[in-house]
Amino acid sequence: MLSAVFRSRKNLSENGFIEKIMGQAGYKTIFAIATPPGRSAIAVIRISGPLAGDAPALFGAACPPAGQFLVTRLVLDQLVIDQVILLFMKAPFSSTAEDVCEIHCHGSRAVIDVLLARLGAEDGFAMAKPGEFTYRGFMNGKMDLSGVEGLADLIEAETATQLHQAWAQIDGALRAPVMAWRGELVGIAAQLEALIDFADEDLPASVEGALRTSTSDLQSALASHLDDGGAGELVRDGVTIALIGPVNVGKSTILNALAGRSAAIVSDEAGTTRDIIQIRLDLGGVPATVMDTAGIRDESGKIEAEGIRRSVEAAGFANLVLVILDGSDPAWPAACDKIDQLTGQPKFYILNKADQGLSAPNATASGDMMSISAKDPADIETLIERLAKLLVPLNHSDASVIITRQRHRHAMQEAHDALGRALGHDFQHVPEMAAEDFRIAAVALGRITGEIDVEELLGSIFSAFCIGK
């Protein structure tokens, strides 16, 4: 039956499955340090599971009431280990939906090692695997799979835009529409099941028309979200920009100006840059990797020739090739044509050395070209703004940009295509064919949130987390 497709992972908890697993003898209380390793003022040790409330007693301390904290000393073998803050959260009111105890201790390596060693020596306790805390939260219904991915993105966020997008994902920017779409599929699937069960009954034309309209509207909704220019992935993954151009046109100077530091050697000597130099840049909220490459010229030694080859190769993988030219040199159009032949990637042209006068001042009227002086900070700021508009055309603070991973895009595309095939079937005479395509669409959408069997994804997703998360 199609209804089996729509069984929620939450049913596991509602039916007591999770609780049964937690009550089994082999179900361990896990612990791990949740703060970065190394010396620090404070470290946090997280403990989650049925024995979490008993952990303080291992050090001669009482567990505070749920929702409260306690300042106390931890003692082992009659020796004071540390003075700490203890927090306790009662299931299901924790991130894992289990009993959780946190020990906020001093970040001394000695303190941490003693505490972890004592917990590890106690029966029923086990060191957490990477992502195991989040995994338990997922299995216990605290978040869906897209929320888990949003949490991973939050931890890795480098820019404010990435931060906002991650929180939108955690708060359901993707989950909400996916669940709504699946809800519509439930209604359509239920009517098709009735047709299959009562095949001798004729389907009124008005009913079939309504089903087709609903299916078409749903397909259009998926299409509109898929047609987003890959904005969410751009924000999450970042972009790559390759600086390419003839020798001595100011590529390294521009790179240093973008970086705000001397990342590349600047010299009047041709062929100074022979290897690729990279910097990271916050480009309109999107992390960008900017690569300075070897200058392009016909006559060069073996080492420089290898640098040029690498330059062309790097340009082939860039989201944007920033072609740097000497605008004061009358020969720049010929150099531009030569570079155009080297790579077919999207390009933006910079006529540098505008302070020395442009040989063709009208050339910058094109939308894909501008003139600057790399020595002018105002010109560099204008360049950054221009690049941001080129590579980040959408308003990424808009939570409607919901697709952040290729996994999401592939699943939504599969659902969209399945609905298209469903519309091609005769609902009246062969409802089984349409029903199968609706099932495929439902399964695809279910993979996004984890409502459908996603066992093959769990290992790769949760293993990316740190030990204490």
pLDDT in tens, 157-171: 888 888 989 999 999
Report the C-alpha gap between 85 and 87 in whole angstroms: 7
**Among candidates 78, 74, 86, 70, which has minimal Cα distance to 110?**
74
Strand positions, DSSP E, 90-214: 100-107, 125-127
| Out of 93-102, 183-192, 260-269, 301-310, least confident range | 260-269
Residue 151 contacts residue 134 (beta carbons within 8 Å): yes
The 79-89 sheet, strands edge to edge: 69-76, 79-89, 100-107, 40-48, 29-33, 125-127
Greater confidence (178 vs 390) lies with 178
pLDDT of residue 216: 93
The angle that helices 455-462 and 132-139 make with each other, rounded to 10 degrees, is 140
10 Å CB burial of residue 259 (0-12, 13-18, 19+) is: middle
Average model confidence (pLDDT) across the chain: 80
Residue 92, preceding bond cis, omega within 30 degrees? yes
In the CATH scheme, what is the code of domain 150-228+401-450?
1.20.120.430
Residues of the chain with pLDDT > 70: what percent?
76
CATH 3.40.50.12780 fits 13-142, yes or no: no
CA angle 225, 227, 230 (to 5 degrees): 95
Q: What pLDDT, on a 0 to 100 scale, did the predictor assign at position 18? A: 45
Please state the separation of Cα 444 from the chain's center in Å: 19
More confident call, 34 vs 365: 34
The CA-atom distances, in angstroms, between 391 and each of 347, 415, 441 are 11, 28, 32
Residue 462 predicted with pLDDT over 70: no
pLDDT band at 8 (very low <50, low <70, confident <90, very high): very low
Q: How far apart are CA 435 and CA 147, in angstroms?
A: 29
pLDDT (0 to 100) of residue 250: 82
- Domain chopping of the chain, boundaries: 13-142, 150-228+401-450, 235-391
Question: Cα torsion at 396, 401, 405, 407 (round to 10°)?
Answer: -170
Q: Identify whether the C-beta of residue 450 lies closer than 8 Å to the C-beta of residue 9.
A: yes
pLDDT (tens digit per residue) in 145-160:
999 999 999 988 888 8
pLDDT higher than 70, residue 365: no
235-391 under CATH 1.25.40.340, yes or no: no
pTM of the model: 0.72
**CA dihedral over 216, 218, 224, 226, signed as positive or negative:** negative
